[in-house]
Structure 1
Amino acid sequence: MKLRTRFLIATSVIVFLTVSILSVAIYATVSKHLLSEVDNTLDARVVAIAESIRPRNNAAPGNRRQRNPLEEALLPIRFDTVTQVIDPRGNVVIALGQVDLPISNDVFEMVANPLAQRMRITTKIDGVPYRILSVPILRGGALQLGKDISDIESAKDGILLWLFVLGLLAIAASGSAGWFIARRTARPIQKLAAAAEHIAATRELTTTLDISGDAEIEQLATSFNTMLVALRLSREQQQQLVQDASHELRTPLTSLRANSELLERENLDTETKNLILRDIRAEVDELAALTGELSSLASDQRLIEQLQIVNLGEAVEEVVER
């Protein structure tokens, strides 16, 4: 897999995870806030009802017909809230609204326990979402308030849609930026690869890379140029070694040819022949030593040699004899 493709995938995955986490957090926060506003409204309704049914000092005379205080307190909220009052036996005695609020087992337990905690649930009634608050009544029974939250659910759906669209745009933008950055980063590496392929195909070591970019890319190009310089030096040394070896081999071979031609003469005495043969053996030994040195150089065996004192006079005499 190419570097650009890996960089693009990595960038897209990171942005996708980031956008997903942020979207979930935003959606959960907004949903909680909207439901909290509805709960505050229902709590305010409960407080208003409690204030309305509190006994007043200016009660009507006994001979005058009075309305049910709870019924009277529920009238102002019947237009925006569904209300139910459940008696201690679990029967609905008052119901205001177009739907019937569901009565769960927890609500039945609340009816028998005036000290129970209030409950909040979100449910659907005839396909319409409602937020329901159930609170106990001190003398037994329970009061249920339900509010249609269709507008809140629509708002949550709209937020979810916007988050999805923004997430896709963010991923697309990050992918494009990642592709551009990866392409810009990979371009010097591609040039380096093309130069390496050219050198491998042509054996041309005089190429010099001039690549600018990040510090790492420039360092890589500098290291590559240093390697090319070392290869050029190695080739020059090899050529010099071949020339030196050719020169060193030419002398003993010339001597061997001359000695062999002398041995072909018939008028040579025994002592002269022995001298010539001794000289030939010396030249053969020298060739063997030179061949061993060349083999060592060819195998790149680097021996650590001890420093020795050399008598220049003896070295000169050996050269003169040769």
Structure 2
Amino acid sequence: MIAYFKRMSLRSRLTLLGTVAVAIAVTFSAIASWVATRQQLINQLDSNLTSVQASPGYVQALLRFCGTQQPGSGAADSSPTPYTIQVVTADGTVCTAPGKSPIDVHTDDVAVARGTATTALHDSTAEDGVVMRVATARQNSVPGWATQPFAISIAQPLTVVDDPLRTLSLILLGVAGVGVIGAATAGLAIARAGLRPIARLTETVELISHTGDLSIEIPVDGEDEINRLAKSFNAMTGALAASRNRQQQLIADAGHELRTPLTSLRTNIELLMRSENSGRMLSPVVRSELLTSTKDQITELSSLVADLQELSRQEESGVGRILQIEPLHEIAARAVKRSRLRGPGLIFTENLEHWYVRGDSRSLERAIVNLLDNAVKFSPSNGEVCISLQGGVLEVRDHGPGVSEQDLAHVFERFWRSPAARSLPGSGLGLAIVSQVAAQIGGTVTLQNAPGGGALATFRLPGAPTPPPDLERV
């Protein structure tokens, strides 16, 4: 049954669950109504029987029926009455009104006759099989009965209760049936109307899955849960489309950047192979130049591949990664130590105050190294590179030619290289990696011309001069 329920469509399940819920509610309501009505009718019948028993006229009738006769003799007065009247003595003897079937005596009736109880109300059965409701009350002695105390029982068939209840049951059954059918119909209509936006969403998702077109959007015309889901889906497909566009652009840019060193490598290797195959040996100077050029191109390719891997790693690490508290001043000091090896003739001036940030130490060090490498690349011989860290602002300044105004807007783009830097080694990804690291940890990076010449890179990172006491530093 559960397996079949799981195979049902969502619309069918909602309709079925709604119908079952209404059926249960209607059933309990009908049962409660029936029980309450039955109790009310029983209470009303008991009140009527008690009232009749207390009537002086009925007491006189009893005296006329049984008081002048011996018990069980069946007196001759047969006045029509809807009640069955009988006398119950202390020893359990009964005298029933003429034309009425005697009723089984209950122990409560005998207790009333003996004086141990004042009244009794209960169901009993007559000799003819009719179920009766009996009310018994104690009375004084009757002449001719040895002045013994007795009780009078007034009974009426329970058909006065059962017949209306039977009619009520049929009415409730009909109402419940109509209610369940109506609930099923309404549930189906509501399920269709409520699930129509989901059906539209499903059709759009299937269309995107079939065509691969991430530009398709789901119409949004409200603020309910379905429309919020549609908005989230549109945002997700937009992010996927942007990611795919970035990947395609990265592949295209990487292919463009790889073409030049690969072409140069191929040309150099072909020249070396032709020289070997033809037996016409190249001069040592030319051969050395070709080998040096080949080595430089391989180095450039290695650097480009490493930068691409780092860029890809940065994009992956920015999703769902838990960042730790890191000492930026220590990371910057390590970066300066590495950069000194790349610019042995340069003077490095550092002023690093304590600053702690939430980030990845490897990514932060790579970003600072890239800023320093950029400064080393454009610094003149015996030039000075200054790095400072104050209040969460890390600045790297060189004393080179600076950057032209038209190039400043493109320095953080992937694979972008200014005309003046195309003859220098590099992949054009260094500053793009810095920008990506800054964005991941909520910081910013800018590059501008410094007063007095040179370029000034400013790396702003949120943090504090002391590590938070409630966070463990890794």
TM-score (norm 2): 0.58
The answer as to 2:242 corresponding to 1:233 is: yes
Query: Which residue number corresponds to residue 182 of structure 1?
Result: 191
Question: Is contact 1:81-1:97 (8 Å) kept?
Answer: no
What letter corresponds to residue 307 of structure 2 in structure 1?
E
Q: 1:255 Cα shift?
A: 1.4
CA distance 1:298–1:137, shift in 2 (3 Å): same
CA distance 1:71–1:198, shift in 2 (3 Å): farther
Query: Which residue number corresponds to residue 26 of structure 1?
Result: 33
Give unpaired runs (5+ residues) of structure 1: 54-65
Q: 1:280 Cα shift?
A: 0.6
Question: Is contact 2:118-2:138 (8 Å) kept?
Answer: yes
CA distance 1:145–1:107, shift in 2 (3 Å): same
Equivalenced residues, count: 308
Q: C-alpha offsets along residues 40-80 of structure 1, whole Å, 9 cap, x if unaligned?
A: 22112221138855xxxxxxxxxxxx9689579x9697522
What letter corresponds to residue 173 of structure 2 in structure 1?
F
Q: C-alpha offsets along residues 99-158 of structure 1, whole Å, 9 cap, x if unaligned?
A: 1111123333333x2241311122343343321112223442221111123233111100
Q: C-alpha offsets along residues 236-256 of structure 1, whole Å, 9 cap, x if unaligned?
A: 212211211111111101211
Query: Which residue number corresponds to residue 303 of structure 2?
Result: 289
Query: Which residue number corresponds to residue 224 of structure 2?
Result: 215
Match of 2:104, SS? coil
CA distance 1:267–1:153, shift in 2 (3 Å): closer
**Which of 255, 273, 276 is the matching residue for 2:290?**
276
Query: Which residue number corresponds to residue 385 of structure 2?
Result: none
Q: 1:281 Cα shift?
A: 0.9
Question: Is contact 1:82-1:145 (8 Å) kept?
Answer: yes
**Which of 124, 130, 133 is the matching residue for 2:132?**
130
**Which of 69, 78, 98 is the matching residue for 1:96?**
98
Distance in 1 between residues matched to 2:107 and 2:181, nearest whole Å: 50
What letter corresponds to residue 13 of structure 2 in structure 1?
R
CA distance 1:30–1:68, shift in 2 (3 Å): closer
Relative contact order, higher structure (CA 8 A, sep 6+)? 1
Question: Is contact 1:86-1:92 (8 Å) kept?
Answer: yes
Query: Which residue number corresponds to residue 10 of structure 2?
Result: 3
What letter corresponds to residue 278 of structure 1 in structure 2?
T
Distance in 2 between residues matched to 1:99 and 1:132, nearest whole Å: 13
Larger helix share, 1 or 2: 1
Match of 2:135, SS? strand
Distance in 2 between residues matched to 1:133 and 1:7, nearest whole Å: 53
Q: Superposition RMSD on alpha carbons, in Å? A: 3.1
CA distance 1:128–1:93, shift in 2 (3 Å): closer
Distance in 1 between residues matched to 2:239 and 2:65, nearest whole Å: 106
Question: Is contact 1:115-1:136 (8 Å) kept?
Answer: no
CA distance 1:177–1:67, shift in 2 (3 Å): closer
**In percent, how many aligned pairs have the same letter?**
26
Query: Which residue number corresponds to residue 118 of structure 1?
Result: 119
Matches for 1:52-201 after TM superposition, within 5 Å? 79-93=81-95, 95-111=97-113, 113-125=114-126, 126-139=128-141, 140-201=149-210
CA distance 1:108–1:238, shift in 2 (3 Å): same
Question: Is contact 1:89-1:141 (8 Å) kept?
Answer: no
Query: Which residue number corresponds to residue 61 of structure 1?
Result: none
The answer as to 2:287 corresponding to 1:249 is: no
Distance in 2 between residues matched to 1:13 and 1:290, nearest whole Å: 66
Match of 1:237, SS? helix
CA distance 1:4–1:127, shift in 2 (3 Å): farther
Query: Which residue number corresponds to residue 260 of structure 1?
Result: 269
**Which of 417, 422, 428 is the matching residue for 1:319?**
422
Distance in 2 between residues matched to 1:98 and 1:68, nearest whole Å: 12
Question: Is contact 1:135-1:142 (8 Å) kept?
Answer: yes
Distance in 1 between residues matched to 2:281 and 2:421, nearest whole Å: 29
Larger strand share, 1 or 2: 2
CA distance 1:87–1:128, shift in 2 (3 Å): closer
Query: Which residue number corresponds to residue 38 of structure 1?
Result: 45
Question: Is contact 1:130-1:147 (8 Å) kept?
Answer: yes
Give unpaired runs (5+ residues) of structure 2: 1-5, 70-75, 142-148, 318-362, 380-416, 426-474
Q: C-alpha offsets along residues 172-191 of structure 1, whole Å, 9 cap, x if unaligned?
A: 11221111111111121122
What letter corresponds to residue 281 of structure 1 in structure 2?
K
CA distance 1:281–1:137, shift in 2 (3 Å): same
